[in-house]
Amino acid sequence: MISFNRAGKVKDTCLIYGNFDGVHKGHLKLVKEFKLKVKDKGLTPVIFSKAGEGEYLTSEREKEYLFRKFLKEAIFISTEKNEDIEAIIEKLGVRLFIIGEDDVNLCHIKEVLNSKKTEIVICKNEISGGEIITSERIKKALY
């Protein structure tokens, strides 16, 4: 696991972006989307775990461990604070950005990516029992 502020500059990546608390089926859908989109593009997968608020279900190390089961070759980057999207794109050489449709920063991220001409894939929410699978839903069921 690499902290964003310690990460070196990278080229030609596919960034899988999110909070990823309680790594669940919705998060794994982002990994599946990556595998579909970059089979032959030669992009390096980067999982970018952004800072969240409140109590966490999983630590950054646990998130990395769980994601490595599905995407062994990924670079796992975490951050303690919300980083500027433009800085992320520049530093990590993002060519393809994969994000869930319920990310709170989606509108801003789309604007930035459009201005940078960076391809974006927005994954639809995963549904179970008629409800969207979210970390908040998992927390509610546990507590």
Report d(CA 75, CA 110) in Å as an integer: 23
Kindly calculate the radius of gyration of the chain based on its CA atoms and give it in whole angstroms.
14
- Specify which residues 44 forms β-bridges with: 13
> Residue 1: what pLDDT?
83
- Those residues whose C-beta lies under 8 Å from the C-beta of residue 63, and which sit 6 or more positions away, are 20, 21, 23, 49, 76, 78
Looking at the chain, the number of H-run helices and the number of E-run strands are 5, 8
Report d(CA 44, CA 60) in Å as an integer: 20
> Residue 143: what pLDDT?
80
Per-residue pLDDT of the chain (143 residues; tens, 9 = 90+): 899 988 999 999 999 999 998 889 999 999 888 888 877 788 999 999 987 677 788 889 999 999 998 888 899 999 877 789 999 999 999 999 999 999 988 999 999 999 998 999 999 999 999 999 988 888 888 88
> Residue 82: what pLDDT?
79
Report d(CA 84, CA 38) in Å as an integer: 25
Q: Which of 65, 79, 94 is nearest to 18 (CA)?
A: 79
> Residue 91: what pLDDT?
95
